[in-house]
Amino acid sequence: CPSAADLRPINGTRVCAQLYTDNSPYYDQCCAGDVLVVEPDSDVPYMPWKWSASVSSLVVGTRCELNVWSRRGKKGNTRRFSA
């Protein structure tokens, strides 16, 4: 997985989080598959259709927080991730 400080795409802009579809019990094989990039100050109450129940690993950048809910529309239990 990339480190929290390494979350920058090719053009150099800041990224707050990256979510991945593939995971593994072996650390060097985590953070694989499709990638969903979360930009700073994003507010997305619904996951894109393809991503619903598909995220298996994630990395959150420095000075960012990722809040997720167990139900759509920001309902249900919440969990907060940070670097």
Look at residue 82 in the predicted model and tell me its pLDDT.
Answer: 92
Condensed to tens digits (0 to 9), the pLDDT of residues 20-44 reads: 988 777 777 788 888 988 888 888 8
Domain membership flag for residue 10: no
Domain membership flag for residue 35: yes
Domain membership flag for residue 6: no
Q: What is the mean pLDDT of residues 2-30?
A: 80
| Host domain of residue 51 | 17-82
Domain membership flag for residue 12: no
Domain membership flag for residue 8: no
Give the dihedral of Cα atoms 72, 63, 7, 73; nearest 10 deg.
10
Number of domains forming the structure of the chain: 1
Domain membership flag for residue 30: yes
Domain membership flag for residue 9: no
Condensed to tens digits (0 to 9), the pLDDT of residues 52-82 reads: 778 888 899 988 999 988 888 889 999 999 9
Domain membership flag for residue 52: yes
Q: 64 and 40 in contact (C-beta within 8 Å)?
A: yes
